[in-house]
Structure 1
Amino acid sequence: MATDDEVPGDEVSSDAGASEAVRPRPELATMLATEHWSLLGTRSMTWSEIMSRISILLTVVSALLVVLALFAQGGGFDRSLLPLAVGFAAASLVLGSLTALRVGLASQEDAQLVRGMNRLRAAYVELAPEIEPYLTASTRDDQAGLMATYTLGSRRPLLVHIVGSTTFFVLVVNALVAGALGALVGALVSSAGWVPALGGVVGGVAWLGIQLEVSRRLFGIPMRDVRFPSKG
């Protein structure tokens, strides 16, 4: 029997409010999935652009070598060919350096896209905690979570990850072109055999060092806005 202080309608209202609070909202999953596909599409377009630019770089370098070989076949490979070879190598190095810069920026963008998808997975797990054991990629948006998604949960030394990256590949190509340019300049300056060799080694190593330092500064920026840090 209810007392004067108890209002039967309050209990019903309270139950209705609790039911409303825990009501499933499937539209949230739809919105999250839409954002996920948007990030995936952006990532795909970014790397499609990068692969195209690298293909253009290698095509141009190969074409310049063919042109140089045709000139040498027609006029003979002598010192008169060196200025043309230096010009071709310099042009290739400029094109390669611009490509390396774009690849580095794209790698930064890719990391942010992966972090965004990690956050969306965290939202999926919050909506349906039972799916977490079935996820391969990480739900954390810090450095550890980023690497866990890149390596799909397996252990991989950071050095191997760097050396096997697209960025490092372009840097090595540029270093080889810089070495060739240094050797050609050395041959143009002096006919002594050690001068081109020294110029090639110094040019290649120096340019690789410069590129690595630029990449280190580019990727050494601290990660900010970490919303879901790794546990422990």
Structure 2
Amino acid sequence: MSNSAGAPGPGKPPPAPSVRAQLLATEHWGLLASRSTAQAEVLTRISMFLMFTSASLVSLALVGQATGFTGMFLMLAIIVIAIDALMGLLTQQRVMNVAMEDLMYVLAMNRLRAAYVELDPGVARYLMASAHDDEAGAGRTYDFFGSRTDFSQVSGSSAMFMTAANSTLLGILAGVVVTAAGAGTAVAVALGAVCGLAFLGLTLAGGYRRYRTVWAGHTPVSPSPEG
């Protein structure tokens, strides 16, 4: 690792290894706290979205039963589902931002582990998380055993959960809108499916581009060894 940024001034002795270790540990705990806070916040946001959506849909069903699903019910359904979709999109954006923040914290802590190994090379064999701040190192920290595939990692993420939920909501919204315009059931179902799948595909493509852009602009300090 480069010491140019933290090199002592002229005539000053370098800090003792114990001081460096204490500073690194303090930074590590700060990163852990920030990561935990971000994860807790996004889980709360998802829970709020689910509660809001479930309550609004139950209310919509009760109104439908009271009105016989006639009259202004379709207009009310469009408004309610559109609001649900808006809340879902805002929640999804935050979830994706936190996913990038989580990657940032993982890379930062990997870099600190590289500093620990620099202070005491013998500690390296006891670390299951990676000490390399590149893509391979991040993957090792997320999955110590390397048993998960990229598909498993993505499909099981909170971002994918929100994307699937919003795809469903937008598909339902499109179907209700064309139904209110006089289209038949088959047309509404087909258009809803197309809109939902289109949103899912566009979101996945955009997320992948964002992920690759992160690595394209990232210069690791402690890259993984070749092979």
Q: TM-score, with normalisation over the residues of structure 2?
A: 0.88
How far off is 1:214 after superposition? 2.4
Report Cα offsets for 1:141-171 as digits up to 9, x if no partner: 0000000000124232112111111111100
Matching of residue 225 in structure 1 with residue 208 in structure 2: no
Letter in 1 for 2:56: L
Name the structure 1 match of 2:200: 208
* Identity between Structure 1 and Structure 2 (%): 37
List structure 1 segments (4+ residues) > 6 angstroms apart after TM superposition.
none
Question: Which has the larger Rg?
Answer: 1
Alpha-carbon distance change, 79 to 203 in structure 1, aligned in 2, over 3 angstroms: farther
Alpha-carbon distance change, 23 to 181 in structure 1, aligned in 2, over 3 angstroms: closer
Matching of residue 159 in structure 1 with residue 151 in structure 2: yes
| RMSD of Structure 2 on Structure 1 (CA) | 1.7
After TM superposition, the structure 1 = structure 2 runs for residues 127-206 of structure 1, keeping only pairs within 5 Å, are: 127-206=119-198
Contact 2:170/2:192 (<8 A) preserved: yes
Contact 1:50/1:103 (<8 A) preserved: yes
> Bigger shift: 195-204 or 131-140?
195-204
The separation in 1 between residues aligned to 2:44 and 2:109, in whole angstroms, is: 25
How far off is 1:92 after superposition? 1.1
Alpha-carbon distance change, 24 to 192 in structure 1, aligned in 2, over 3 angstroms: closer
After TM superposition, the structure 1 = structure 2 runs for residues 116-131 of structure 1, keeping only pairs within 5 Å, are: 116-131=108-123
What secondary structure is seen at the aligned counterpart in 1 of 2:213? coil
After TM superposition, the structure 1 = structure 2 runs for residues 73-92 of structure 1, keeping only pairs within 5 Å, are: 73-78=65-70, 80-92=72-84
Alpha-carbon distance change, 225 to 210 in structure 1, aligned in 2, over 3 angstroms: same
Contact 1:182/1:202 (<8 A) preserved: no
Contact 1:141/1:227 (<8 A) preserved: yes
The separation in 2 between residues aligned to 1:50 and 1:85, in whole angstroms, is: 28
Contact 2:17/2:119 (<8 A) preserved: no
Report Cα offsets for 1:81-139 as digits up to 9, x if no partner: 11111111111111111111111111111111100100111111111111111111000
Matching of residue 100 in structure 1 with residue 92 in structure 2: yes
Structure 2 stretches of 5 or more lacking a match?
Answer: 1-12
How far off is 1:193 after superposition? 2.1
Number of residue pairs aligned between Structure 1 and Structure 2: 212
The separation in 1 between residues aligned to 2:50 and 2:147, in whole angstroms, is: 32
Letter in 2 for 1:225: T
How far off is 1:222 after superposition? 4.0
Q: TM-score, with normalisation over the residues of structure 1?
A: 0.86
Using CA pairs below 8 Å that are at least 6 residues apart, which structure has the higher relative contact order? 2
